[in-house]
Amino acid sequence: MLFTAAAGLAGPASAGGAPTAADDPYLWLEAVDDSKALDWVRARNSVSQKELEASPDFKPIHERLLAILDSNARIPFATKIGAHYYNFWRDARSVRGVWRRTTLDEYRKKDPSWETVLDLDALAAIEKENWVWKGADCLHPTYDRCLLKLSRGGGDAVVVREFDLNERRFVEGGFTLPEAKIDIAWAGRDRLYVGTDFGPGSLTDSGYARTVREWKRGTPLDDAPEVFGGAKDDVGVALFVADTGSHHYELIRRSITFYSGETLLRVGDEFVTLNVPLDAEVDIWQDQMTVKLRTDWAIGGTVHPGGSLLITDIAGFLAGKREFASLFTPGPRKSLDSFAGLKSALIVNELDNVRNRLFKLQKVDGRWTRAAIEAPAFGALGVSAVDPDESDDYWLTVTDFLTPTSLYLASADKPGRELLKSLPAFFNTDGLQIAQFEAISKDGTRVPYFQVSKKDVKLDGSNPTLLYGYGGFEISLQPAYSAGMGASWLERGGVYVLANIRGGGEFGPDWHQAALKANRQRAYDDFIAIAEDLSKRKVTSPKHLGIQGGSNGGLLMGVMLTQRPDLFGAVVCQVPLLDMKRYSHLLAGASWMGEYGNPDLPEEWAWISKYSPYQNVRKGVKYPRALFTTSTRDDRVHPGHARKMAARMAEQGHDFLYYENIEGGHGGAANNQQQAYMNALAYTFFWKQLK
């Protein structure tokens, strides 16, 4: 588990902000493709590559990682589209990847036969573009047409092209959109909803679409009428179409902040605002509306706590009724992980002290019934519908740190489950165990963490230990089988620790909101408490403790580096936010002010400035050695964050390494080769620093 992407959308590059070169001598590094900046990048890359590739650890780790990523033994997770099951696959032969399909009977086989639908390597060669797959949105219920999203080099900006699934080719004269951060959905065979860059004034300050247009086939996009427009200082306007069975609903979400906004439903020829809390998440299942609460809501004579999942009939709600049933109610250590809508039932996936439990909910004689679903008690469980139009079947994934991930086919209307696919054991788990511990944070909060180590691990403080964290955007970190981490770290004798700090979603909205804005330091205090607990328990010691995180987790790494350099021996900081004075003026940064606050307001900068790594790195302080990694093509978190931090540390005489992939987007890599290489750099760095 080398990387968890930050929640959020992506916006276009923007210089923005008020600082001048006098205030910030490294502003020039924010010019992403400037030749001077890229020369600086290449020079830094060369130093890091020369050192780490020379390590005896690098080659075996790199080769092992690439073999795992290219292995045909990986699970080809599939999505049912019409009569076929589709999978996107990369390996040594298909570097950019192939979109392919098969039948369920064939999929059940150990080695299924696949029909190629689109070969991205062939397309890239013909068009001389470095295409990276970004997904497909297919037309319900015929599923003969899809809107394909392709990115140049892995960024969030995509081109959209209409594709004929029957003919397996792009539709001549079909719907096509030029490169942008695009939000698009089928409203009918000849009608789309489109949010994109329509020119001046069409984007928000965060770089997302401010307007939605209804585009009819055969007409110019520029002539498409606007159906909704948000404010310039909104995060953005998104749209989605819900089709299940015979039910068709068209909705718009106006995001005022990252965590609040309006949801509108099309009724007749107009969109009407749904009267639900601004910070609630609305979804559609069949003819029902679900509402997931972030804060308490008093409705229909009942106060539902934040974290609850409610449901009501859409027609009744539009008629003025406020009769909600509660499908999930949170507890002190219990939260809603996810839910899946099937044809006649819902599967609710709960987290109880960061361990999953599944329940089937079904409406019988006007009342909702709830029944536990038998499932493995260990690890993490994932649930998603196979085809809610046709059946109550669902996919079930089961995983933990030491048990290879398995994929099952199950049904809500019958017991048992069918094992379809399972990963092989990519690394040796003999003698390893999983344990869960708690650290006490600065304010007395109990913060859980998972530890994976040898059963007879020596508690003498000498174990090389990798502590991973994120702590933001209500994202939960759960046990998962990572073949790369296991082969590169656990099998070689390292200890792995996963931190469930505040800011995440492990215990619901309250756990997240406890570390928002002015309270951000709580997330950092939690991580510090876990690091201190590992040393107190003599699992490791600062000399042997390495830490890692990406995106918002990269910010966490930067804060740990500058606040508690005495606690760590090595830091791997990936695609990070680091200059929190400028973050809201770079790419999608303005959309995250609901998480961090607005640094342009003096009262908010007062508390952001206390932890912003770029402003808090100091000359003369002994810091643990750090490896900063980012991507030139990341159009979500600006590579300038990592560049400028590295430049400032170089100016101050600190020892560090830096590597920037020239493509790859926010995930850091655009293909298996790049991913294997970057991960090998990180693991090699840890072994070099922590032995």
3-state secondary structure 129-166: CCEEEEEEEECCCCCCEEEEEEEECCCCCEEEEEEECC
Q: What are phi and psi of 666, to 5 degrees?
A: -70, -20
For the range 429-435, what are the long-range contacts, defined as Cβ-Cβ under 8 Å and sequence gap of 24 or more?
Answer: 429/402, 429/486, 429/490, 431/455, 431/456, 432/402, 432/490, 433/402, 434/400, 434/401, 434/402, 434/479
The whole-number pLDDT of residue 19 equals: 57
pLDDT surpasses 60 at 4 = no
Cα dihedral 183, 191, 176, 256, rounded to 10, equals -20
Q: Report the catalytic residues.
A: 551, 666
The separation between the first and the last C-alpha atoms of the chain, rounded to the nearest angstrom, is 20
Calpha distance 221→215 (Å, rounded): 6
Condensed to tens digits (0 to 9), the pLDDT of residues 81-90 reads 999 999 999 9
Structure confidence at residue 16 (pLDDT): 41
CA 529 to chain centre: 25
* pTM across the whole model: 0.92
Q: List pLDDT tens digits, range 31-69.
A: 999 999 999 999 999 999 999 999 999 999 999 999 999
Distances (CA, A) of 368 to 247, 364, 438: 21, 6, 36
pLDDT at 490: 98
- The mean pLDDT of the chain is 94
Other Cβ atoms closer than 10 A to 432? 19
pLDDT in tens, 190-235: 999 999 999 999 999 999 999 999 999 999 999 999 999 999 999 9
Cα–Cα distances (Å) from 482 to 1, 384, 400, 675, in that order, read 6, 21, 9, 14
Q: In the predicted model, what is the mean pLDDT of residues 413-428?
A: 94
- pLDDT tens-place string over residues 113-151: 999 999 999 999 999 999 999 999 999 999 999 999 999
> CA 280, CA 141: separation in Å to the nearest integer?
29
φ/ψ of residue 255, rounded to 5:
-90, 105
Q: For residue 532, give the nearest of 442, 406, 649 by alpha carbon.
A: 442
Total Cβ atoms within 10 A of residue 258: 21
Q: How many residues does the chain have?
A: 691
For residue 249, the cross-strand partners are: 242
